[in-house]
Amino acid sequence: MIAQRSYAVEPWTVRETGLDLDVLAQSESVFALSNGHVGWRGNLDEGEPHGLPGSYLNGVHELHPLPYAEAGYGYPESGQTVINVTNGKVLRLLVDDEPFDLRYGRLVAHERTLDLRRGVLERVCEWTSPAGSTIRVRSTRLVSLTQRAVAAVAYEVEPVDSRTRVVIQSELVANESLPEPNGDPRAARALKSPLEPEEDFADGLRLRLVHRTRRSGLRVAVAADHTVSGPERTTTSAESNVDVARLTVTSVLEPGQRLRVEKLVAHGWSGTRSRPAMSDQVEAALAAAAHSGWAGLLGEQRAYLDDFWARADVEVDGDEEIQQAVRFALFHVLQAGARAEGRAIPAKGLTGSGYDGHAFWDTETFVLPLLTYTAPDAVAQALRWRHSTLPAARERAAQLGLSGAAFPWRTIEGSEGSAYWPAGTAAFHVNADIADAVTRYTAATGDTGFERDAGLELLVETARLWRSLGHHDHEGAFHLDGVTGPDEYSAIADDNTYTNLMARKNLLAAADAVRRHPEQAERLGVDDEESAAWRDAAEAMYVPYNHELGVHEQHAGFTRYQRWDFAATRPDQYPLLLHFPYFDLYRKQVVKQADLVLAMYTCGSHFDDEQIARNFAYYEPLTVRDSSLSACVQAVVAAQAGHLGLAYDYTAEAALMDLADLEHNTRDGLHIASLAGAWMALVAGFGGLRHDGDAVRFAPRLPARFSRLAFSLQLLGRRLRVEITPEKATYTLLSGPPLRIGHHGEPVTLSTDGPAVRTVPTAADRPAPAQPPHRRPNDR
């Protein structure tokens, strides 16, 4: 765990000014670079020491058997796990025949800087070898946002005080030794050395390795080219074997002289292309990168990010730590999805192997809202990936005796990877989360082509699932029984409010889309009777409510359960799932993460202000936040209910989840959804953004610590800037035709003629809700 602040608080960088080997794995996640296709963890250039080596290609995985104490019909037979592919970032260094290894000798200085505007990781290190030679190393690393197959490193060495012999070994390394992936020895065996060699090549300054995974049958190719500059008599030689290709650069340096290696690395993978085709593919990518050159790649990266920050930046005055954290969050969410292009956005992005590299509902509910308003092309690609997995989802639904498509709880390639039914298959709400992302994207962009080609089918097949999963009772109400909502401490329940309300939205959205695209609907076999049945189910959807308490139930009967004995629960017994049986959790009033509270955000039109306040006050003392997905949602609804100080504390928790390693597992990769949630807390919480169909509404209010909050949104080809102070909100339409919005219930029409300024009303004065003992967020 990171026990103290490790990174300097600066607005546009994350800077580490020392090196703590005990938390090296955490910093490797924080300093990871990615573009959604290629991911490089922030390992030291020399490869060792390391916490967790990591080089990832989105979608490259291996299969392994899933453990079951007892077999059952419908259980997935094999799991999918992201693998560490060929590592192209290694540049080993020898100084007068001694390995440059920070565990030995004397580390004089070490600084790493993640530059959020330039999109690079920079490192400066001064080290004295055990024999007394002092050198200075500088490196700059990037994963290109413009050339999706390419990553690059510039590595430079100079002696500080004496003539020094220097050897740099630039390598491609496959089948690196890794920590055991989990407690299942069968999985460990399956994932040990998963890459089988097919080709190794080294000639001149070029290297190439091609491998294929044993079980999933995916071919991976990685190639590197180099530019070397140094004193006269600098020499190079190249060699390769099945798992290592190496360029060795040797020179003798006087003080003031430098040896510099610029390394371009190209990556590719395919489940169908031949070995020669893959070799040609990465060689072509190298040629394109060489055409740009190192300076050109740096320039392209800065230009890409300049454009992103112009439309996505969030400015926070009054808390420098949150300002840094939200930009860190935006940068990493962009990296997770920018060039995923037909692949998933995993829960950890490409920053680590946590959750086996799987994608969950996190993507559609937490990550895609941010990208919808800042980088919408990435959203279309993520949803097209979901569309490409429809055959597997249809097959899964049929296996379960249902119509339509049952999307997986966790997956890499589209099939279900969850071995635990209650928190996996039964969490059918993932279907509605995908549908919600479709409707949000089309409403925000007006991309009718996407809706016609992919969105409509996603909406239709998810609607078909709900209609077959649910049933009308004798009074006509529509019920969804035996499901698991977002709260994984309440499983296999009837009429989960979040699931029911999201399914309702899904059913109505599908019926509306069918009406807009009758020809495509006909091709999908939808007739008037089917779409009418969707509307009937939606309008009759049952929403459980306790009239005596005056609150909505998380699911039917939830409020009659016995309350969890919080007083008898010690601080070291959180998270509860590691210390208590699920059987006990499932039958008590205790909430792992926002569930009913999440419904009040995603389906807010079904709740009035007083209901939101009462519901929040009821569920807040039950919610233990044993999930990183909770704090951001609680921040949004706390702000809406007028608890601005509490919302501020939750915002900080979401934003600092990884920079402060709050859940002690950042070593496995970043919490991409929580990072996206920091944006959600600021924009939807303190900015009050809600987008329902064509209605865009704001209800801004700031916590006492903030003096200003500003952000921009992309909406239907327009760019809108919102600036909020404690007294007023200023809405400026920067481009596009007039836009009608709402401000605290007041309609406002914006045009590019000038900003609209409105006063910010004070929040209603309500008693602050309590939290479970030991689970209050840190007080800012």
Q: Which helix (H) or strand (E) is 311 found in, with range?
A: helix 275-312
- Beta-carbon contacts of 173 under 8 Å, excluding residues fewer than 6 positions away, are 47, 86, 87, 90, 243, 244
**Six-digit token pair at 402?**
């249902």
Q: How many CB atoms lie within 10 A of CB 243?
A: 17
| CA distances to 36, 471, 623, 671 from 490, in Å | 33, 21, 12, 23
From the candidates 488, 530, 653, 663, which is the catalytic residue?
A: 488
How far is it, in rounded angstroms, from Cα 686 to Cα 702? 6
Half-sphere exposure of 264 (CA within 13 A, CB side): 29
Is position 488 annotated as part of the catalytic site? yes
CA terminus-to-terminus distance, the chain: 21
Residue whose structure tokens are 């569920």: 619
Phi, psi of 753 (to 5 degrees): -70, -25
How far is it, in rounded angstroms, from Cα 481 to Cα 557? 12
Where does 432-497 show beta strands of DSSP type E? 471-472, 478-479
How far is it, in rounded angstroms, from Cα 269 to Cα 59? 9
Residue whose structure tokens are 């601005």: 644
Nearest to 507 by CA among 445, 465, 473: 465
Sign of the alpha-carbon torsion through 465, 554, 504, 743: negative
Is 510 in contact with 434 (CB distance < 8 Å)?
Answer: no
Phi, psi of 15 (to 5 degrees): -120, 130
Half-sphere exposure of 327 (CA within 13 A, CB side): 25
**Six-digit token pair at 458?**
């996603």
Half-sphere exposure of 565 (CA within 13 A, CB side): 5
The catalytic site residues sit at 488
